[in-house]
Structure 1
Amino acid sequence: MLISPSPHAPAASLQPATRVSLPHADEYFEVRFESIGGLGAHAAGQVLATAAVVRMGLNGAHFSSYGSEKKGSLIRSYVRLADGDRPIRTSAPIDRPDVVVVFHAALLRNAATFSGLKANGVLVYNAPPGVIPAELAALPKTARVIRVDATGIAMQQHSRPNAVFLGTVCAVCPWLDRQSVLDALSEEFAGKHPEAVASNERAFEAGAAQFEQLAGVGTAEGDLSPLQGEALWGYQTQPAGGLLPAPGNTIWNDLTTSRTGWMPVLDATKCIHCGVCDLVCPDYCLAWGESDDGDKFVRKLKGVDYRYCKGCLRCVESCPTGALAKTTETPGLADKLRVPLFPELIA
């Protein structure tokens, strides 16, 4: 949608508090938020576009795309900005972004996540300090790569990752008026959720300060090529009728991106193998096996197959002994602790 001041607002309110200009006046400035539903990418795009138009004197458009079940499904939110004297006459999705913001590190496994990034663009992704994902080698060598622990900061400040990312974007794009974006963020929540304003402001400020720029990550020359989000099907390439090429309810399903910072971890020394966790698990991700040490338990809980765990933590809430504990998910932890339900899927 196009963002513009209300025509019924008083004349004084139509004047932006701060006027800014884009780095390249002859081009749009475009931001693409890559996320899963429920992390706040849509709200982040709306806040950024509103701040740019109402408070900074720019023209702007914001729109999002997501599936019929928003929460947990892939979502892309787009913000397109132009100088105040240049109209925006397109509503096409952004395929050559200046900035890509990735709300969940698991999305980096899909090349479409950062496709089309400009050679001098910026990639901001959510992860704590640690190993740099190998997939980022496909980025342009001249692009700036920013890592921020948005989930960790949001948990500390009792906020959400979108507030953290808005702060980081303002810090890495200094021509954006930081106070204008912060004011728009506070105004967005002041009406319905006034209790969230202070925590969102703290998360915003932390995001603007607590990030790191990674050097020597990308290896590609020039702009990245845009990729189609879906395959182009023709009469020779379309799948057979009546088949689901990417089923969501079989052993090929992967719920990794549905977790938002927490995961259940089993302490086998506390487990009494009562099966209560299995009764409440909605995704059947708990791996059971035969007892291999001759004790009184015929069947024992071996662990969790995190491929199918969406992090609802019902197992933790129901465990009578505390054997399943709520644990912060760090890069590689799920792969390290995973007990596969279907070993034949592991290449």
Structure 2
Amino acid sequence: MVQLPKVNELGFFEIRLESIGGLGANLAGKMLAEAGVVGAGMNGVSFSSYGSEKKGSAVKAHIRFCDLNTPIRDTSPVERPHVVGVFHEALAKTVNVTGGIYEHSTVLVNSAKSPETLKASMNVLAGTIAVIDATTIALDEKNRVNMAMLGALFRMCDFLDPEIMKGVIEKSLGKKYPQAVQSALNTFERGFNEVKFMHFPLPEGVQMPAFVRSDVSSLGYETQPIGGTIVSPGNSFLKNLSISRSGLLPHFEAETCIHCAQCDTVCPDLCFVWEEQPDKKGRPQMFLQGIDYQYCKGCLKCVEACPTTALSGEREEEGYADSHTVRHHFDLITQA
């Protein structure tokens, strides 16, 4: 019988995958649990939690393992994970992806940065930080991020057999997507071999932050506004959709733009910034100034619609969106 490296008070080894819709975290969680049950002879369960079922929305996959003598009757979300897999680095901007980790937990991040850099940016006090550039691997192998992340997860969870996982991949994809099996196996193999990790001990005299549930509302019968007033109504003006991008974004070349607005027609969000200016004959026309990347989720529909080479899909580099964004200037109407 396989010996789990760590268990909580209920006897569970718990894994939480933090992702966005479209990266395959839900499927990865199911395949991970199946490989543990079939290959390692453990009890296991996998389930997901998510909001709106659309590409780019936040998704969590929860996996629990335990020995055969321990029944699993707990299907609550994993709050104190031994391993966290972050499928999208930008999630850390808006989601507490490392919430509830122990000082011996492993945090695996899809990133090209070093473990030291991620430790500082994600404010991880202690534990093992592993990095894998899953997006680049997936683009190279023409496959999905989840296969590279699974490979790295199997490297970090040495009680799981990667050969069993390869069989699960062939079984899961073989019937519906036989053409994708080999690229998925290659992506998994590269994730397993290319992951880099570093352990950071807890500094002397420092304690890990106390666990606080993040889903508890700050409003209650004593703190809610009088009459149930909605003081912060829902709107899209303040939303930041950058965490929805999965590695690609549109690049704008103003010199080749003919200002036909086909990009704006197909854009599902408020990305393109226009300004009225006189044309060559002095007539007022709308001219495209650029892209407000705060509202861009990288769907690249604009690139497909563009009749010229003004828009092209490019790999998103660190800081590119901030340095190239053109901000909207909304005319806000207020009443006294």
Fold match (TM-score > 0.5):
yes
Aligned equivalent of 1:48:
32
> Which secondary structure does the structure 2 equivalent of 1:231 belong to?
coil
Unaligned runs of 5+ in 1: 1-18
Q: State how 1:195-344 maps to structure 2 within 5 Å.
A: 195-214=179-198, 221-222=207-208, 225-238=211-224, 241=228, 243=230, 245=232, 247=234, 249-291=235-277, 298-342=285-329
What SS does the corresponding residue of 2:251 show, helix, strand or coil?
A: strand
Whether the 8 Å CA contact 1:261–1:328 is kept in 2: the answer is yes
Which residue among 169, 176, 189 is the counterpart of 2:153? Answer: 169
State the partner residue of 1:139.
Answer: 124
Q: Tell me how far apart the structure 2 counterparts of residues 253 and 47 of structure 1 sit (CA, whole Å).
A: 33
CA distance in 2, matches of 1:295, 1:329: 38
1:29 equivalent among 6, 10, 13: 13
Letter in 2 for 1:21: Q
CA distance in 2: counterparts of 1:183 and 1:23, whole angstroms: 24
Distance between the aligned counterparts of 2:5 and 2:55, measured in 1?
35
- Larger mean CA deviation between 57-66 and 67-76 belongs to 67-76
Is contact 1:96-1:117 (8 Å) kept?
yes
The answer to whether the aligner puts 1:73 opposite 2:57 as a matched pair is yes
Matched, 1:110 2:94: yes
Residue 230 (structure 1) shift: 4.7
C-alpha distance in structure 2 between counterparts of 1:128 and 1:331, whole Å: 10
Instruction: Output the amino acid matched with 2:132.
Output: V
Q: 3-state SS of the aligned residue for 1:331?
A: coil
Query: Is contact 2:143–2:187 with CA below 8 Å preserved after alignment?
Result: yes
Amino acid at match of 1:229: D
Cα distance in 2 for residues equivalent to 1:340 and 1:140: 36
The two structures, once aligned, show a CA RMSD in angstroms of 2.9
Identity of aligned residues (%): 38
| Candidates 57, 61, 68, aligned match of 2:41 | 57
* Deviation larger for 121-130 or 58-67: 121-130
**Closer, same or farther: CA 230–245 of 1 in aligned 2, 3 Å:** farther
1:84 Cα deviation (Å)? 2.0
Assess if the C-alpha contact under 8 Å between 2:15 and 2:84 holds in 1. Answer: yes
What does residue 15 of structure 1 align with? none
CA contact (8 A) 2:173 2:180 kept: yes
> 2: distance between equivalents of 1:291 and 1:218?
59
**Alpha-carbon deviations, 1:222-248, whole Å to 9, x = none?**
36624323524311333563638462x
Residues 206, 276 of structure 1: CA spacing in aligned structure 2 closer, same or farther, 3 A cutoff?
Answer: same
Q: Deviations over 1:68-100 (max 9, x none)?
A: 424322111100100122222322211100011
Change (3 A) 1:50 1:276: same
Do the aligned partners of residues 137 and 103 (structure 1) sit closer, same or farther apart at CA in structure 2, a change above 3 Å counting? closer
**Per the alignment, do residues 137 and 217 of structure 1 end up closer, same or farther by CA in structure 2, a change over 3 Å counting?**
farther
2-side partners of 1:230 and 1:263: how far apart? 35
State the Cα distance separating 1:324 from its structure 2 match.
0.8
User: Secondary structure of the residue that 1:269 maps to in structure 2?
Assistant: helix
| 2:81 equivalent in structure 1 | 97
- Tell me the distance in 1 between the aligned counterparts of 2:171 and 2:56: 26
Q: Deviations over 1:259-296 (max 9, x none)?
A: 21110011112122222222222213101224599897
Distance 1:339 1:133, change over 3 A: farther
Unpaired runs of 5+ residues, structure 2, are: none
**TM-score normalised to the size of structure 1?**
0.84
| 1:114 match: secondary structure | coil
Report deviation, 1:252: 1.1
Alignment deviations for residues 101-142 of structure 1 (CA, whole Å, 9 cap, x no partner): 11111111235221001111011111224793586452122x
Whether the 8 Å CA contact 1:95–1:226 is kept in 2: the answer is no
Whether the aligned pair in 2 keeps the contact of 1:37 and 1:72 (CA below 8 Å) is yes
Cα gap change, 1:344/1:35 in structure 2, threshold over 3 Å: closer, same or farther?
farther
Report the AA paired with residue 4 of structure 2: L
